[in-house]
A = this chain, B = another copy of it.
């Protein structure tokens, strides 16, 4: 893969936010031995470097009642050396869709001779393991893990930690284009190969979203992203005193982190999860509030934003109201300890202008799951070691 070299980086406390880099060439072919003269403008990332990172990466796929054809396409595109971790919150009762997902995954893994995990979000052992680890704020009143994609993401991170993976990557299960999924993973690996800090994050920007969709979904995401990026940049400018447009991926669902970074971030529910990651990084490492992670602050946090070659085309979930998507995204900014009263006012005004908030209405605070590092990981690992094999595909072979 060839990507544009870094042209610009904004430094903010111990955070390095890298400006957008575009993918230039999906597949850069054989390793070249000689230094190449394009090096100043372009990074060529050799296959062996990417493969090495893939071998240390868990790809977490949250799924909920998704079309199996799409799920099958997505898993077929995850490079072989990655560990696939499917966290399903699909229905079991009327139609056992969870079982169908497991069957699809098993068939794929058998033919491709690879390992994968699949776990149901409501798995009772998992819930018990979390409780043992002092992580019971993930559980609902019935004692199982709450619904929600971000809860699934946290489960995935914890499982990746059990498997000692160095990188955790997130891929949605509703992508129509296996080739795009493949590219996301290559982008993650390319980003990590450029990182200087062990605390790094790669966020994907879609090259474009096709206009062929019948519904409003794409346009709305575009609008939500635009607005979230705007206030995220205002949040930064407010502290630095310089206007910025550096954040271009505030809502990026396609993103990946070093496990070291993933461990120390809290995870907000629903659409708030991706912006919250950024806000939490700003709070902890922006140099304004005191950090709780000296080690990470010393190494620095590095954020990459990389633009794909492939368009993004995913399953349409029917109409989702702007409010439903925008409110959680901006609530994480609004409720940040980092957010000045002036920025709060701007966010409020923005939400009212967009017609998604009534004047006088309050913005609900997003619910945060504790950073995985706050859990007692040894207790979790201890409890899970008797149950982990039940999540494992091909474990019988």
Contact = CB atoms under 8 A, between A and B. Distances in A.
A108 B28 CA distance: 12
B76 A24 contact: yes
Contacts of A54: 29
A51 B38 contact: no
Interface residues of A, number: 47
A25 B51 CA distance: 15
Nearest to A4: B111
A93 interface: no
A176 B208 CA distance: 10
Given A177-B311, A182-B179, A310-B178, A26 B76 contact: yes
A37 B207 CA distance: 40
Contacts of A26: 76-77, 79, 178-179, 182
Interface of A: 2, 23-30, 36-38, 41-42, 47, 51, 54-55, 73, 76-81, 108, 110-114, 176-180, 182-183, 207, 210, 212-214, 309-311, 313
4 smallest CB-CB distances across A and B, nearest first, come from A179-B179, A29-B80, A29-B81, A27-B79
Copies of this chain in its oligomeric complex: 2
Contact of A47 (B24, B47, B108): B47
A2 B112 contact: yes
Contacts of A36: 113
A116 to B, nearest CB: 12
Nearest to A30: B51
A80 B25 contact: yes
